[in-house]
Homo-oligomer: A and B are copies of this chain.
Amino acid sequence: MEKKEFQKSDLAIGVDIGGTNTVVGFVNNNKCIYEYFFPTQPEKGSKYFVVNLIKTIKKNIKKFEKSYNLVGIGLAAPSVSLQGIIEDSANLKWGKFDIVNEINNFIEVPVKIINDANAAALGEYYYGLGKKIDNFVVITLGTGLGGGIILDGKLINGSNGLAGEIGHTSIGSQGRKCSCGKTDCLETYVSANGLRRTVFYLLSKYNDDSPLRKISYDKMSSELITYYAERGDIIATTAFDFTGEILGKGLANVTACFDPKAIILFGGLTNVGNLLLQPTRYYYESNLLSIYKGKTKILLSKLQNGKAAVLGAASLILKNQL
């Protein structure tokens, strides 16, 4: 592919389409100069989403149009095939959707798309902790758990663009059903939803008082659990400890597969900091084959507000990726 050279005034839009919110960033000169988000509302359908996205872009781009030149839109989404189609995403439920083509019906700039965890890996590689590391794995901890892998400076796609689905490797033994239909997938334990399930498991197992007993399953969120964990609630802190145990074991498996220099954690679940990171590192080290000990670091993404996926999506345009 021809590598395009960009000008200083060129601006790309990065869009991270999540199951709950969609984050949009305007990226220029290696920085996100403006950012906003809106609720994805996947239940209203894929076409509604695109109309909404275009509307917000056209409104927000106005104040930048004089000084900047829009050169393209990069999308990060779940379940993206090698052909650039969103395929049967469990969180979006849009079936097979050619979103690139749909966006081009409204706006005539180059549009590219990539799996969200791969976007996060590219974001870390070009703009984050990965700038100085050639071999690393990014783990996104959001509604689900995704993985993006950079080996020898190159994004690993696999033969169908589906490598790095670490959230759906089997682990644990509680027999938790996953939304994918399988049992005991890593993300049934380690994700916003997995954390909620763990809280309910712990509420069923122990008698300790907890403000979490007043909250229904539907209203329970990782933000609430984080809030109470930071205030020392025993159920909430134990839930993070349990989550860290399973994550640590899962990351030990990741190291045995890929032997990375670093594993970079990213996403809302990491906002709780050491309450998750400490047990994760402890159980990671104790489940690690001795030959790896002390070689791989577990790091928290330093990209502002977990913007790795937005920046990575923009890099599809600005760094001529794909």
Query: A: which residues have CB within 8 A of B?
Result: 79, 87-88, 134-135, 147, 151, 156-166, 168-171, 173, 180-182, 249, 252-254, 256-261, 287, 289-292, 295-296
Majority secondary structure, A binding face: loop
- Counted per complex, copies of this chain come to 2
In the complex, the answer to whether A158 meets B151 with C-beta atoms within 8 Å is: yes
Interface residue from B157, B252, B292 paired with A162 (Cβ < 8 Å): B292
- Min CB–CB distance A22 → chain B (angstroms): 22
> Would you mind naming 25 contact pairs between A and B with Cβ atoms under 8 Å apart?
A79-B291, A88-B290, A88-B291, A151-B156, A157-B259, A158-B259, A159-B259, A159-B260, A159-B261, A160-B259, A160-B291, A160-B295, A161-B259, A162-B259, A162-B292, A163-B259, A164-B257, A165-B257, A165-B259, A168-B289, A169-B253, A170-B171, A170-B249, A170-B253, A173-B173
Alpha-carbon distance A296/B159, docked complex (angstroms): 9
Using A170-B171, A287-B170 as known contacts, say yes or no to A160 and B292 having CB atoms under 8 A apart.
yes
Alpha-carbon distance A261/B159, docked complex (angstroms): 6
Alpha-carbon distance A162/B253, docked complex (angstroms): 12
Alpha-carbon distance A180/B252, docked complex (angstroms): 14
- Min CB–CB distance A13 → chain B (angstroms): 27
| Inter-chain contacts of A169 with B (CB < 8 A) | 252-253, 256-257
In the complex, the answer to whether A166 meets B256 with C-beta atoms within 8 Å is: yes
- Min CB–CB distance A318 → chain B (angstroms): 24
